[in-house]
Amino acid sequence: MSGIWGKNIKFSIFGESHGKGIGIVIDGIKPGLKLDEEYIKFEMSRRAPGKNSFSTPRNEADSFQILSGIFNEYTTGAPLCAFIENTNQHSKDYGKLKDLMRPSHADYPGFIKYEGFNDYRGGGHFSGRLTAALVFAGAVCKQILSKDNIKIGSHILSIGNVKDSYFDKVNVQFETLDLLNKSEFPVLDENISEMMKSEILKAKEDLDSIGGIVETAVINLNAGLGSPFFDSVESNLAHILFSVPAVKGVEFGEGFDISKMRGSEANDEYYIEDGKVKTYTNNNGGILGGITNGMPIILRTAFKPTPSISQNQRTIDISRMEDAELEVKGRHDPCIVLRAVPVVEAVTAMAIVDLLYEK
């Protein structure tokens, strides 16, 4: 049981890839927020499949209806439920997969956990398609945050071994993040995008897939958000980031590399500028003792290559309990990292609103 997340605002997700649809209930949203549905549509289009040759061919409109919680365009304070109908699924295609556990998918652990009753079509409730509901919720949360000028932006830090520049952790600019939000292929170093695309296409040609890393910044947060002992900002962000399918690593500030540093190098020394407390460096990624210090939050999320590939793979037949082979025909999404960018931002926005609502 874990379809619900949040402490001060709660998100309750439901749905399956090939059922009637997917949705989310947002409970605890404050009244009086004028919802910009066009903005939500734009955010959802960032995640939507089928836009270009780098992503999955499944062409789903991802149009949502808001079932409750809105009156005369404003949030009422009552639970807001959004529903995204499934329209383009081909359930028959999945019948033959029923007993063949796709490697590195949730098929096998899901079969065990749900005793064989899980909806196996397209991953069912485990499907990456559920992230559409997260992007809806994230778009609502981003609107809440924008009232306080809080901005979240991400870029593709790497695809395979091709790497973009890092954010300037001390001076991430609002305009930079805003441009990234609107970019079709968000990177900091313009020259890198063609190399990344080529990396993706090469994987595609090989009937394979490729992983990558997303780097995210959150700016204009006040100091004092988050709580010891168990609700550090890192804890909350990592919790929801690791709920996103395919995420295998999360780090903040210098992350794993800070382990190589000396304290004299890693410590972020303070100074005062224009009456505001700042740090010369930001190796801690804006979080100390689990609490924001007013500097930008910087985090990185590692995505594994999507396990859906068209190559022949060794697996098992779960009903016969014997070894088997699997070859899934059809075009797969060779790289989910591009489409993961708005999802990472969405769950980050959800977590930040949850922290803000604690006040």
Query: Which residue, 182 or 319, has its beta carbon nearer to a second copy?
Result: 319
Residues 248-287 that bind a second copy (CB under 8 A): 248-256, 258-272, 275, 277, 279-280, 283-285
Near a second copy by CB under 8 A, which window of 1-9, 56-64, 180-188, 189-197? 1-9
CA distances (Å), origin 219, targets 52, 146, 273? 30, 11, 17
- Report whether the peptide linkage leading into residue 252 is cis, meaning its omega lies within 30 degrees of zero: no
Smallest gap from Cβ 42 to a second copy, in A, equals 23
Query: Hey, which residues between 16 and 55 contact a second copy (CB under 8 A)?
Result: 16, 19-23, 25, 27-28, 31-32
Restricting to residues 172-201, which ones interact with a second copy according to CB under 8 A?
none
- The least distance separating a second copy from the CB of residue 178, rounded to whole angstroms, comes to 26
C-alpha closest to that of 80 among 32, 19, 18: 32
Question: Looking at 89, 143, 176, 293, which residue binds a second copy (CB under 8 A)?
Answer: 293
Q: Restricting to residues 321-340, name those near a second copy by CB under 8 A.
A: 321-323
Tokens matching residue 175 = 């305009």
The minimum distance between CB 69 and a second copy, in angstroms, equals 7
**CB closer to a second copy out of 168 and 208:** 208
Q: Which is nearer to a second copy, 42 or 208 (CB)?
A: 208
Residues between 141 and 170 with contacts to a second copy, criterion CB under 8 A: 158, 160-161
Q: Do 182 and 120 form a contact (C-beta atoms < 8 A)? A: no
Residue number, 42 or 114, with CB nearest to a second copy: 114
CA distance 122 to 138: 24
Out of 59, 71, 182, 330, the residue judged to bind a second copy by CB under 8 A: 71
For residue 142, the one-letter residue type is K
Say whether 120 sits in a helix, a strand or coil.
coil
Q: Which stretch binds a second copy (CB under 8 A): 54-62, 112-120, 178-186, 188-196?
A: 112-120
Cα–Cα distances in angstroms (integers) from residue 264 to residues 77, 253, 260, 261, in the given order? 48, 16, 12, 8
| Binding flag, residue 65, a second copy (CB under 8 A) | yes
Tallying the residues shown for the chain, one arrives at: 359
Minimum distance from CB of 110 to a second copy (Å)?
A: 6
Do 22 and 129 touch, CB atoms closer than 8 A? yes
Cα–Cα distance, 246 to 211 (Å, whole number): 9
Amino acid at 292: T
String marking each residue 219-238 x if it binds a second copy according to CB under 8 A: ---xxxxxxxxxxx-xxx-x
The stretch near a second copy (CB under 8 A) out of 38-46, 51-59, 169-177, 203-211 is: 203-211
User: Which CB sits closer to a second copy, 177 or 309?
Assistant: 309
Q: How near is the Cβ of 307 to a second copy at its closest, in Å?
A: 5
Least distance between a second copy and beta carbon 261 (Å): 6
219 sits in the region (left: phi over 0; alpha: psi -120 to 50; else beta) called beta
Q: Give the separation between CA 311 and CA 102, rounded to whole angstroms.
A: 12
Q: Which residues contact 80 (CB under 8 A, 6 or more apart)?
A: 25, 26, 27, 29, 66, 68, 69, 70, 140
Number of residues that bind a second copy (CB under 8 A): 149
